[in-house]
Chains A and B, each alone.
Chain A
Amino acid sequence: MNQSTPELVIDRVSRNLSGRTIIEDLSLTLDRGEVLGLLGVNGAGKSTTLRMISGMLAPSSGSVTLGGLDLYANPERARRDIGYLPEEPPLYGELNVEEYLGFCARLHGLPRPTINAAVERVIERCELGEMRRRLTSLLSKGFRQRVGLAQAIVHEPALIVLDEPASGLDPIQALRLRELIRTLAVDHAVVLSTHVLSDVLACCDRVAILHQGRLRHSAVLSEIDAGSALRVQIEGDVDKDAWLHMPMVASAQIIDARCWRIRLRDGSSASDLAKAINDCSFGLLELRADGNALEDIFVRIATQPDTTEAAA
């Protein structure tokens, strides 16, 4: 495969179910080594998108290609390169962890001599050693999720698709899962869906926000943070023009009545802004780096159904 070709290309994909448009004109790309977070409220179309990426569901229009192969024109070959963890881990309760992972490895076409080594590797990677002989039906939620993840990576796929992987986990389990996902991203392309912003911030390189089946925002997380600049809390009510009259302010965005997100022009500093606010007698209460830019974007999109923010 050509190294310059993105691992996963979703090109103008739409999906209708029962006469309703679930996904509309979605385009995304993903390279090996990247983690893409699909963010959206419940019903935004995240799971449908992941089911299409994993080959579970055919798009009504558009195409999904993996490593240059169309997922539906070459389904069997392409899908061997995908590891999919659905929202509910697909575990056979009658099998123990080791038997189950062995079955998954064979199902994904691993040659027989390599199966034992692959199962051992994934048991170690997902820290399932103490549970290896336990029936999957007897596992706790956290271990079920880990076994689900193990089945998705046992065959070392190029693309790993995870639907709400941290759902139902306690904070410690969620933390360890995030660490695991970060380590997976070294060798694989990873797509995960979630409605938990902290998961995206902790695991992902890029974020795509879906709302009502459409891609409303797509960005590299580091760019969101870099561009977010400052959050300013003031005593008085001011309008946007008052901010824009300040020479160091590139843009101003209201968060609530007295809280603003301010982006500075190149070469300006936070102290310049603080001085200007004092000079204008706005009554500065708080000035800090804006670490919640993603949250604000998400909340704005999720609460304004008619938003027309262009996808990057």
Chain B
Amino acid sequence: MKTIRLIAGNDIKRQFAQPFAWILLALVTILLAWQFLLLFEVYLELASKLNAADPRGASDSVALPVLRILSGLLLLIAPLATMQSLAGERRAHTLPLLLAAGVGNLRIVIGKFLGAFALVALIVLIAVCMPLSLEFGTTLDLGRLAAATLGLLLFSASLTAIGIACSAWTAHPALAAAAALIISSLLALIDMGARLQGVNNELINWMSLSTHLEPFFFGLIASVDIVYFLLVTMLALLFAARRLDSLRTRG
């Protein structure tokens, strides 16, 4: 656990020593703030027609749409946050330091995952703060907001783990980001694509990340959805650890 914390802490420190993390944070915050203000303006126009005391008003009109936009952005944010983690180490020839230090492959991968997840989770939390600010002027459905936040954190954990797996697979950060974006998008949109093709398959529906994220936006926290996200996260991290193992055995 100590080594995992050390690797994660080192990655967080290095991330924030570079402009990339700050620029990513700033751009996402600006984009979400802009969307938030647009939605808020529309909400104000409609506010006279709505009962301000009804928590569904602000939550449905502003808070949850902002978080839905974030869920789409996370498909891009997670690959960008993870592309450097293992691929960057391989490219900078620093991976031997970890591999030769007697740290297990899984511990390296979990440390890298936590290091990247810290940035992604920070973005989620900043995004959640925007709709939370409405609590000063209106009443929000905090239960739904909490459920949506939990869902987004689980969703981003899965995307981060997929990003780490792709980053372990190649030594080129850009390729890792592209692969993670494609895989994540496929997993997120697979059910929509199937429906467009006229296929309504339960398995395809179950496999989709969106299927399991959507209930959280309605305030539904189901163990099956939590287990699904944890399963995707664990499988992706095991794949990354397996890849490090094969770097040792196959070269």
Q: Report B115 CB to chain A, min CB distance, Å.
A: 12
Asked if B100 CB lies within 8 Å of chain A CBs, one says yes
Which residues of chain B are near A77, meaning CB under 8 Å?
A: 102
Number of B interface residues in the complex (CB < 8 A): 25
Asked if A255 CB lies within 8 Å of chain B CBs, one says no
Within 8 A of B (CB), among A67-97: 75-80, 82, 84, 86, 88-95
Within 8 A of A (CB), among B1-28: 3, 6-7, 10, 13-14, 17-18
| Chain B 93-105 per-residue mask, 1 if CB under 8 angstroms from chain A, else 0 | 1111111111110
Asked if A151 CB lies within 8 Å of chain B CBs, one says yes
> CA–CA, A93 to B18, complex, Å?
10
> CA–CA, A107 to B94, complex, Å?
13
Query: Does A88 lie within 8 Å of B100, measured CB to CB?
Result: no
Which residues of chain A are near B100, meaning CB under 8 Å?
A: 54-56, 79, 82, 84
Contact of A90 among B97, B103, B104, B249 (CB under 8 A): B97
Asked if B203 CB lies within 8 Å of chain A CBs, one says no
| Chain B 122-148 per-residue mask, 1 if CB under 8 angstroms from chain A, else 0 | 000000000000000000000000000
Which residues of chain A are near B103, meaning CB under 8 Å?
A: 76, 107
Asked if A310 CB lies within 8 Å of chain B CBs, one says no
> CA–CA, A58 to B92, complex, Å?
22
Query: Does B99 lie within 8 Å of A55, measured CB to CB?
Result: yes
Query: Does B102 lie within 8 Å of A94, measured CB to CB?
Result: no
Q: Report B171 CB to chain A, min CB distance, Å.
A: 13
Contact of B14 among A54, A95, A108 (CB under 8 A): A95
Query: Does B102 lie within 8 Å of A76, measured CB to CB?
Result: yes
> CA–CA, A86 to B250, complex, Å?
18
Within 8 A of A (CB), among B71-123: 92-104
With A56-B248, A107-B3 as contacts: A90 and B14 at CB distance below 8 Å? no
Query: Does A17 lie within 8 Å of B102, measured CB to CB?
Result: no
Asked if A273 CB lies within 8 Å of chain B CBs, one says no
| Chain A 49-62 per-residue mask, 1 if CB under 8 angstroms from chain B, else 0 | 00100111110000
User: In which size bucket is the chain A interface?
Assistant: 20 to 34
> CA–CA, A15 to B251, complex, Å?
10
Query: Does A80 lie within 8 Å of B248, measured CB to CB?
Result: no
A17, A57, A89 — which one has the most chain B CB atoms within 10 A of its CB? A57
Query: Does B104 lie within 8 Å of A76, measured CB to CB?
Result: yes
Q: Report B11 CB to chain A, min CB distance, Å.
A: 10
> CA–CA, A56 to B105, complex, Å?
11
Query: Does B10 lie within 8 Å of A78, measured CB to CB?
Result: no
Which residues of chain B are near A93, meaning CB under 8 Å?
A: 92
With A17-B251, A58-B249 as contacts: A104 and B102 at CB distance below 8 Å? no
B3, B96, B250 — which one has the most chain A CB atoms within 10 A of its CB? B96
Q: Report A110 CB to chain B, min CB distance, Å.
A: 11
Q: Which residue of A lies closest to B98 (CB)?
A: A107
Which residues of chain A are near B95, meaning CB under 8 Å?
A: 90
> CA–CA, A151 to B101, complex, Å?
11
Which residues of chain B are near A107, meaning CB under 8 Å?
A: 3, 6-7, 97-98, 101, 103
Query: Does B96 lie within 8 Å of A90, measured CB to CB?
Result: yes
Q: Report B126 CB to chain A, min CB distance, Å.
A: 23
Which residues of chain A are near B98, meaning CB under 8 Å?
A: 107
> Beyond the given A76-B104, A80-B102, A90-B97, could you list 10 further A-B residue pairs with CB under 8 A, ordered by the A residue number?
A56-B248, A57-B248, A78-B102, A79-B100, A84-B100, A88-B93, A89-B93, A95-B14, A107-B3, A107-B97
Query: Can you list 14 A-B contacts with CB-CB less than 8 angstroms, sorted by A residue number?
Result: A15-B251, A51-B96, A54-B96, A57-B249, A75-B104, A76-B104, A79-B101, A90-B94, A90-B96, A92-B92, A95-B13, A95-B17, A106-B6, A107-B7
